[in-house]
Structure 1
């Protein structure tokens, strides 16, 4: 019996150790997403305390799904960068203007959705002056690859989708002992301390920066989503950027017929924004998306967010969250301020 217990203990000890490491350092919350996706140790658990005031702000903008207002200065349509709640750029905008936000579940493709709203009766019912069309850089080109400019959606259909949408809590990322995470995470954590410039968990890159002054936790590591790099083949193709620009110009004309002005807001990939600060760029291609888009003829109002935020990197820390793909409240305020300036000039 003693031998059995001893053998069982020797067998279970490594598994228990792996479990304790994973349980202690694994992040199972939706955000920070890069820590979770890359299987990195969550060693800066107090990192976001610096944003505590912004993360607890009152929400001033309206969501289409839970308001009856039919008039707003600005309609924001976008991905997760437009769904940051109380610390999002649209909430800072709403301190000055009335802002209506299209819920993410109503718009999986911002460009396609805007065409559908234009072809339907949305802008006949809702009085909007400006549309802010936002898309993260890595997905902007792909969002227009199979666009259907004739498709439409009516207000009745929107209402139906809203009513049928069940209340969904945050997706469950909770750590389960009986999963491959128990084995994978400790080894990934070890790699975090020993390796440089590598892809972790086949999803997130970890590269060394030239400085440790870009984030308030004083880390010299840049974590970024793999797609930021993998989608450069299309995003660095001038022909693809021209195609995107033509579609955005077409949307501008269609919105103008509704007395609405279009503001286009690409959100820079984290990799792109911090590219010049990466220590070893030998095998890392330079992103050209913003350079190409800046150079073409545009009929819409354009927010060059990369240029805007890049100018602040030397003086402001945490333009993007260290541990996440998204910009922080620091950047949200800068973006909101620029949109306000554009509107005032208009």
Structure 2
């Protein structure tokens, strides 16, 4: 009997360690996983940085999600996660710069903003919103080329890309669901921190502090997918330019001006400051800068890099893939300049075309 109990105890050790590890993860590590990179890579960045840098710089929110029947502003934005930062996002800063509200359209997860914008236009969505004069389509840099190459301007969509009620979880998870998720996450944490699984988060030492993340001021954390596309061929670039021109012209035909905002990838912005860079050089941003010849294309990279090289910290969040409120405000400044310039041009043209009865 004693031998049986000893063997049972020894056999239960792996399960006991797994349970103890899960409990440690859930109660000690999980609360410290801040930022999307912390969640993805199970990295305990802590809560101090998130609490400090996450405080909204603007006291009120002038950007609101689109709701059927609700008032819609002259400016509508359509984009990926960079367009879902609400009061901390570029739309809110733009709304304050212009002194008018901005309406943001949330998409079904995975929907390409470029295709979604054309689908909505094709379906007559904007025909029901004559107050809309400006549409801003935003796309993260690493997905821009492939999204544009797949753009189908004349397709008939099977369903609206708008995010409707019921597209996500409809209620709180059950106890079994929470327990299962906690177990899976603790397992992922153990695999990542024992080196048995490849992390989706890359890191590299920077030549100087670029963040105020405690203990990690000179470390760059970025999403591994930033390395998936390092450049673009001449033929691909020409096709991207044609797709964007088509997107712009389709909206202009309906009397709506469009701007296309590229959200720069974190690795793209900081790669030149990595000391002894173990990752391949990325030329994508340099090549995509050729799209600046499109008057509606907005590339924040040159201005972001100028501010970065001047010593600005936290242009992007240290523990996240997205730009900080500093970066969002910079993107808003670029958009504001473009919109005001275009409105001035339109006003001048209208004056020139107005009949003179003198």
The Cα shift of 1:21 comes to 4.1
Please say if residues 204 and 277 of structure 2, whose CA atoms lie closer than 8 Å, have aligned partners that are also in contact.
no
Other-structure match for 2:305: 310
RMSD: 3.5
Cα offset for 1:230? 1.7
Unpaired segments ≥5 residues, structure 1: 192-198
Q: Which has the larger radius of gyration?
A: 2
Q: Secondary structure at the match of 2:136?
A: strand
Question: Matches of residues 72-87 of structure 1 in structure 2 within 5 Å?
Answer: 72-87=73-88
| 1:5-16 map, 5 Å | 8=9, 11=13, 14-15=17-18
- Whether 1:206 and 2:216 are equivalent positions in the alignment is no
Alignment partner, residue 334 of structure 1: 330
1:211 to 1:186, Cα distance in 2 relative to 1, 3 A: farther
Q: Tell whether 2:321 aligns with 1:325.
A: yes
2:138 to 134, 138, 154: 134
Residue number in structure 2 paired with 1:93? 94
**Equivalent residue pairs, number:** 332
Compute the displacement of 1:107 (Å).
7.5
> What is the distance in 2 between the residues matched to 1:149 and 1:52?
38
Instruction: Tell me if 1:18 matches 2:21.
Output: yes
Mapping of residues 109-124 of structure 1, within 5 Å: 109-124=112-127
Shift of 1:47: 1.0
Listed one character per residue, the Cα deviations across residues 251-270 of structure 1 (whole Å, up to 9, x for unaligned) are 22222212222211111111
Q: Structure 1 158/273 Cα, relative in aligned 2: closer, same or farther at 3 Å?
A: same
Deviation at 1:140, TM superposition (A): 0.8
- C-alpha contact 1:215 1:322 (8 A) present in aligned 2: yes
Partner residue in 2 for 1:215: 212
Paired with 1:253 and 1:52, the residues of 2 have a C-alpha distance of: 38
Q: 1:200 to 1:44 in 2, by over 3 A?
A: farther
Aligned to 1:298: 293
Number of the residue aligned with 2:224: 226
SS at match of 1:54: coil
* Superposed CA offset, 1:126-184 (max 9, x none): 13222111000111111123322112469xx6599736646657999967587465455
Distance 1:117 1:264 in 2: 16
Structure 2 unaligned residues grouped into runs of 5+: 343-358
